[in-house]
Amino acid sequence: MTILLIEDDIKLKEYIMEYLEAYEYDVEEVNDFDKVMDRVEEIKPDLIVLDINLPKFDGFYFLKIIRKLYNIPVIILSARSDEGEQIRGMEIGADDYITKPFSIGILLAKINALLRRVCEYSETEDEEQGELSIRHESMKLSYKDKIIDLTKNEYRILNILLNNIGKVITREELLEVLWDDTTFVDDNTLTVNMTRVKKKLSNLGIDNAIITKRGVGYVFNGINN
């Protein structure tokens, strides 16, 4: 099992990593906080331990994006002990919330319990809608006997749409998902990427699966072919 630790306190990070590794977990870390989501995509962890007080953007910002794209369990680790902050974290999509200072044994117990509950589900399994499938490991899209490559932005767009079939995803939500802190994404960039996604679906023989809600966003209505 792989755990991604998103924590900027170096001493605390090293302590947690050494402790969890002693219990045979593979623990990965984030060192460049400009590329947090790239790291999540690269590692595809079984669980994330996420600090809230991070450089540039707080953990709630990343939690929102993680929850839109993945079902990875997330445990928040935070010095913010206020009840309102804990409620906020859980409402955004955290699976648990641990306040600092904390017992490392409690963290381990919560990780063990959470992973037991989700052991039958793996985020690295392909996202499927009928015969349409996103292959997370290789960022490829397959349909029937055809397979095509996706760019990182195309992958992110299709991932969020397939995770929210029948729901309108606003342009603002998509822009938030595409912007990775280092590359500015404007409205025109989103339009270009969405056009490319639709073209790739068309090349697979899938037409009109993504409906544009003018002035609002997009919705994936499924495959009617």
Helical pair 187-203 and 171-178, crossing angle rounded to 10 deg: 90
150-161: average pLDDT: 88
pTM metric for this prediction: 0.64
Residue spans per domain, the chain? 2-117, 127-220
Strand order in the sheet with 217-220: 168-170, 217-220, 210-213
Class of 2-117 per CATH? alpha beta
pLDDT tens-digit series, residues 178-192: 775 445 667 788 888
Class of 127-220 per CATH? mainly alpha
The pLDDT-based confidence of 121 (bands split at 50, 70, 90) is: very low
Beta bridge partners of 168: 219
pLDDT tens-digit series, residues 200-211: 999 898 988 999
Q: How far apart are CA 225 and CA 200, in angstroms?
A: 15
- Structure token digits, residue 196: 């490319």
